[in-house]
Structure 1
């Protein structure tokens, strides 16, 4: 049995207008191929393209033509500015695009609508794992996936590729750190569970409340020290044949679909 630690949710009035940072509205993709793929996908809304003022030739013309067909504005900037905006100094190739992520929002804004289940990524720095978790959690119907700005791989072309494009429409919630996220979730009345191979209660037999948050720690360090004090219950995934643990993305799939199964009952 796991002590849920659930408290009554605090009512937050959703009346004041919210000034949302561009970083909490867009997924920024960089590099010629990812930008062209975004421009060529009619399902995506591209806010703008930023092209280095040194970019010339057929590659630059292809991007300008693709943006023109979609009616997407193109801004010119220095090559250094593009690198800063992309957050990647080696692979931006002098171009980036801000793609609208319609379900991305700040965590504090999301908590006003009281999502039932929230996943918190803590220290997961491998883009492939972050991408696969976004895809799995979205498919399972998890209402919020916290991807902190620090300590977790940012949503870049590698994450988008690993998610098979789901990252653009995943219910991503933004905040500074995982510790900030779990503190806010606890203050909003959410019990916080985390996965640990040594936990006696499993994801299958623990009594889980209707509203809860779940932390996924890194494969090497597990749940970080500044997150641990906020955890109210620990869960394990039963293993057979001497297997010690699962890849964090695989563990996320087990957890998310077990939560979905329970929600459907």
Structure 2
């Protein structure tokens, strides 16, 4: 299993310190740049010792590569255990695969990804597919937008949204796209017990490759003079309609 399927990496001195002192989180390790010094770094080291978390030194370049954000890492990162995160393939091969799954496709705004993770967790959705490519990285901006819930979300990892769609269809899931144009109302559509719902990007919606695999389209009725909802707002409507239906 890739580390990216086990941990959420946070970077920056304040986010790392907050993760270390949060009793509800388990930090696997802290990595400090060999150039990182000062009172804030010393405080991180003390917190790590108190929590029994190993601290490793690496070159500043290596920290930038691991964090994936050379402008904001501040020479420190931490791998935080996400106990409910696992590969999509593992979830589908489990004895009880998730019945309902959200698939993020091309959603690049961290705030939207974070709010979707928070909403889905609140609604009890058993799986949210967050591809490693084509979607905002699971970084501190996403964690902040989720108000920390991202650490506990049942995130399912795979390479791309297309890979996820293909795996889900092959596993017997009906694939639905959430769109603003033609389709059946999300409130009246017949939904099979095993279904996946694709949430498209902010500008282009569901990508053309994934669109080819979509079996049906769902819309949110909007009698007011608004063409569409923000993707995180649309996700909230969908998630709680599933709650209304009993999952």
**TM-score by structure 2 length?**
0.98
- Give the drift of 1:263: 2.0
- State which drifts further: 42-51 or 234-243: 234-243
- State which drifts further: 193-202 or 130-139: 193-202
> Of 211, 214, 236, which aligns to 1:228?
211
After superposition, residues 18-167 of structure 1 pair within 5 angstroms as: 20-113=1-94, 114-167=97-150
Moved over 6 A (4+): none
> Of 178, 188, 209, which aligns to 1:195?
178
In structure 2, the residue corresponding to 1:68 is in which secondary structure? helix
Counterpart CA distance in 2 for 1:53 and 1:243 is 53
Question: 1:216 — aligned with what?
Answer: 199
RMSD: 0.7
In structure 1, the residue corresponding to 2:203 is in which secondary structure? coil
- Contact persistence 2:13–2:44 (CA under 8 A): yes
Question: 1:171 — aligned with what?
Answer: 154
Counterpart CA distance in 1 for 2:185 and 2:2 is 38
Q: Which has the bigger relative contact order, CA under 8 A and spacing at least 6?
A: 1
Counterpart CA distance in 2 for 1:196 and 1:59 is 47
- Give the drift of 1:200: 3.4
Counterpart CA distance in 2 for 1:128 and 1:240 is 27
Question: 1:6 — aligned with what?
Answer: none
Counterpart CA distance in 1 for 2:58 and 2:246 is 48
Counterpart CA distance in 2 for 1:200 and 1:167 is 31
Counterpart CA distance in 2 for 1:255 and 1:95 is 38
- Contact persistence 2:108–2:202 (CA under 8 A): no
**TM-score by structure 1 length?**
0.91
1:241 paired with 2:224, answer yes
- State which drifts further: 54-63 or 150-159: 54-63
Question: What is the number of equivalent residue pairs in this alignment?
Answer: 245
1:262 paired with 2:245, answer yes
- Give the drift of 1:170: 0.2
Counterpart CA distance in 2 for 1:77 and 1:200 is 52
In structure 1, the residue corresponding to 2:192 is in which secondary structure? coil
Structure 2: unaligned runs, 5 residues or longer: none
Counterpart CA distance in 2 for 1:200 and 1:81 is 48
Counterpart CA distance in 2 for 1:59 and 1:47 is 20
Structure 1: unaligned runs, 5 residues or longer: 1-19
